[in-house]
């Protein structure tokens, strides 16, 4: 089973990869595909949108007779990456509190059901065991 991938998560991945150094489109998509179940046809629109939003800048570089389009992070992209990292940390903390630590309070129905269990029942015989 794969948990759904949102646009914000893809943005975060692309910006984080490019922060480490300029990358061409195919290499970017392959790197993201190592951690998320996405297709190239999903990734190229993400890169174009980030470029339109001025988060990424592009330049072409010849390689074996063809041009590769490289992406680099802009100042706007750096600011977006900081925001997305903060949102990701908050999301991770929230999900972890449910999945890993179990620190979330019971739902009202769960609390009522737990109160109805015999081990939670009021002591009716004055505390003496029979």
CA distance 7 to 54: 16
pLDDT value at residue 96: 87
Tell me what percent of the residues of the chain surpass a pLDDT of 90.
Answer: 58
Q: In what order do the strands lie in the sheet with 23-24?
A: 23-24, 66-73, 56-63
- pLDDT higher than 90, residue 16: yes
42-69 confidence digits (pLDDT tens)? 999 999 999 999 999 999 999 998 999 9
Is CATH 1.10.3720.10 the right assignment for the domain spanning 7-116? Answer: no
Complete DSSP assignment for the chain: ------HHHHHHHHHHHHHTS-EEHHHHHHHHHTTS---HHHHHHHHHHHHHTTSEEEEEEEETTEEEEEEEE-HHHHHHHHHHHHHHHHHHHHHHHHHTS--SPPPHHHHHHHHHSGGGS---STT---
Taking each helix axis as running N to C, give the angle between helix 7-19 and helix 75-99, from 0 to 180 degrees, rounded to the nearest 10: 120
- pLDDT higher than 50, residue 130: no
- Domain spans of the chain, in order of start: 7-116
Model confidence at 106, in pLDDT bands (50, 70, 90)? Answer: low
């Amino acid at each position: 089973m794969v948990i759904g991938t949102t646009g914000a998560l893809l943005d975060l991945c692309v910006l984080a990869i490019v922060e480490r150094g300029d990358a061409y489109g195919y290499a970017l998509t392959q790197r993201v595909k190592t951690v998320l179940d996405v297709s190239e046809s999903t990734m190229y629109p993400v890169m174009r949108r980030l470029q339109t939003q001025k988060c990424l800048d592009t330049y072409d570089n010849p390689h074996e007779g063809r041009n590769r389009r490289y992406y680099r992070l802009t100042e706007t992209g750096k600011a977006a990456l900081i925001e997305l990292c903060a949102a990701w940390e908050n999301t991770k903390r929230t999900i972890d509190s449910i999945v890993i630590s179990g620190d979330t309070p019971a739902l009202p129905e769960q609390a009522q059901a737990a109160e109805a269990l015999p081990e939670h029942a009021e002591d009716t015989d004055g505390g003496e065991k029979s």
